[in-house]
Structure 1
C-alpha cells in the first residue's frame, strides 16, 4: 500500500517537474522560416541560405527561430548573382516562407566588359571553364576565376579586341610558387607570368592595328601539390581608346506631348569595340547635369516646370573616359486645360423646336483641342468625339433645358464643364 502510493507520488512529481521545465525550450514564443532558392540550378551550384548568423541551409529547409524579426541571407554561388538579404517578421507558432531568387551571370560580367565576346575554355588543353564569383574581386562586386584544375591540368579563357588601342586589367594569383602558373597570351605569344600568392596587379598592354586575341591561362605543373586557392582571378578589363560612344534618348517613347512633367526616358548606347559604356548623365538645360550613373535602358526624369517645349539631353561615357556628344529629344509639356464655350441656336434665348444646333467654341494655346463630349444632364456623357464647331442636338423635352460640353486637348487635359440653357416653348 505504501509502496504503491509512493510510486504514484513519484510519477506525480515527475509530471509536475516537466510542467515547469520539460518545455523550457519553448517557454518563449517561436516560429519557423522555410526558404526556397530559385532557380533550382542556383541551388545545384551550391547556393544556400541562413537566418541571422546561423548555419547555412539547403534550399527547402525549415529552421526554428524565436518569434521576432530576423534576417535571411544568401551565400554566393559560382556564375550566379547573389540576391539581397531579406528582413522577415516571424509570428508566434507560424511558418514564414521566403524565396531567394538568383540571376545568372554572363562570363563578361566578371570582367566588367560585356560589349565584347568572351569564351571559356578557349584553347586546348583546358578542362575546367572560368566562372564569375563574388568572394574575391578588385572592384568589390565580382571577378572571373579560373576553373578547378589538378596537377598537370590547365584552365583558360579568351576575348577579342580590335586595335590600335591599349587594354588594361587587374589580375591576381594564388598557387604553389613555381608549381602553379597564371599568365596571358596576345595572339599566341606568352607574356607576364604570376606564381605564388600575389595581390591585385594592374596590367597594361598596348596593341597594334587589327584584330587581337587575348587569352589567360592558369595551369599546374606535374606533381604540383597545390597551395592557396589554386587559381587566378581577372577583373575590370578596359580598352583604353579615344573614340567616344554613341547613343540615343527618347522622352516617353518619342511622344510629341505630355501633361505630366514626370517622364520616362528610353536610352540606347554603343561603344563598338571600345572600352564599353560605364556611365550616363542628363540635363534639362545643357548647363546643369545629373551625376554620372550606371547605364540602364530606362530612366525616370522630371522635366522643368511650366508649359512649353522641353528638351532633355543625355550623354554617355565609356570606361576609358571618352564622353559622347549630347543626344536630345523634345516633348511639349502641356498641363493647362482648354478654355471654351457653348451656345444653342447662336445664342437664342428660346426655341420652338426640340431639334437645335449647338455652337461650340474653344481655345488652347498648348497642344490644341482634339476631342469633345456632350451631356444633357451632367451625369451621362456622349463618348469622346472629334471636336467640331457645330453639332445637331435634340433636347429631351419642353421647358428650360441645359446642354453641357467638355473639351480634351492632345496632351490629355480635360476642360471644365461649359453649359448653355435655353427654353423650349411649344
Structure 2
C-alpha cells in the first residue's frame, strides 16, 4: 500500500529590511581616543542578520551581527560619524545607514595662570585663562607639595578637583613654602600640563 507523496512548502521571501541602531561609547558626546566601542542592535523577520560598519558612506564588508565591536575612528580632531547597514537572509538591506557621531578631541587644554596669595596659616589660590577649543574645559585639578610645585598633576598631593576657579588651602604652617600646580581637564578627559605658583603663609 502506498504511503503517499509528501511535500514541503518553500518559505516565501519577505521584502522588509532589518531595523537597527548604533551607538558609540554608550552615547558619549566626546572621546580622546580614536579607539571606541560600538553597540549595535538589529531585528528582522528573516534572521540571521549581517552588518556592515564603515567610517564612510560606502559599505564594503559584511560580517555577522555583533552587539558590540571595537572600532577605530579616522584621525584628526572633530566630529566623527560611523555608519551601519543591516541585511537579512533574503538580502534585504537598509537603504540608508543607521549612524552615530562622537566628537574626537585629542588636544589638551592650554594653560592659564595661577595666583597664590599667602595669609595666616593659609594660601588663597585662584586661577584663570585656561582654554580648550575642542570639547571645552570640564574641571580643574589642584595639587601641592612643600617647597616647589609638583612636577605634574599626577604627582604631589591633590587638594581640589572641581569646576571652580578658586580654593583656600588652610591649616598650613607659617614660614613654610608651598608650591602648587593647577591643571585643566577638558570634557574628553585630556589634561593640561598645568600652571604653577608658590607662597609662604605669614602671620
Normalised-by-shorter TM-score class = 0.7 to 0.9
1:281 to 44, 52, 74: 52
How far has the Cα of 1:301 moved from its partner? 1.0
Instruction: Map 1:8-407 to 2 at 5 A.
Output: 183-186=6-9, 205=10, 239-272=12-45, 275-287=46-58, 289-324=59-94, 325-345=96-116, 351=118, 353-361=120-128, 362-377=130-145, 378=150, 379-382=155-158, 385-394=161-170, 396-398=173-175, 400-407=177-184
For residues 81 and 175 of structure 2, what CA distance do their matches in structure 1 show? 55
Separation of aligned partners in 2, 1:396 and 1:375? 17
Determine the C-alpha separation between the residues in 2 that align with 1:343 and 1:303. Answer: 36
Deviations 1:233-252 (A, max 9, x none): xxxxx652221111110111
Is residue 114–residue 195 contact of structure 2 (8 Å, CA) maintained in 1?
A: no
Kept in 1: contact 2:55–2:81 (CA 8 A): yes
Rg larger in 1 or in 2?
1
Q: Deviations over 1:13-59 (max 9, x none)?
A: xxxxxxxxxxxxxxxxxxxxxxxxxxxxxxxxxxxxxxxxxxxxxxx
Partner Cα distance (1:269, 1:262) in 2? 23
Query: Offset of 1:329 from its aligned partner?
Result: 1.0
- 8 A Cα contact 1:337 1:409, kept in partner: yes
Tell me the distance in 2 between the aligned counterparts of 1:310 and 1:277: 29
Distance 1:344 1:354 in 2: 17
RMSD across aligned positions (CA): 2.7
Larger % of helix: which?
1
Query: TM-score with structure 2 length normalisation?
Result: 0.80
Q: Secondary structure at the match of 1:415?
A: coil
How far off its partner does 1:353 sit? 4.3
User: Structure 1 pair 352/270, CA: closer, same or farther in 2 (3 Å)?
Assistant: closer
> 2:157 aligns to what SS in structure 1?
coil
Alpha-carbon contact 1:268-1:297 (below 8 Å) kept: yes
Taking the aligned partners of 1:356 and 1:339, their CA distance within structure 2 comes to 24
Q: Distance in 2 between matches of 1:281 and 1:250?
A: 14
- Secondary structure of the corresponding residue to residue 323 of structure 1: coil
Unmatched runs of 5 consecutive residues or more in structure 1: 1-177, 187-204, 206-237
Residue-pair matches, total: 191
With over 3 angstroms needed to count, the CA separation of the structure-2 counterparts of 1:301 and 1:239, relative to structure 1, is: farther
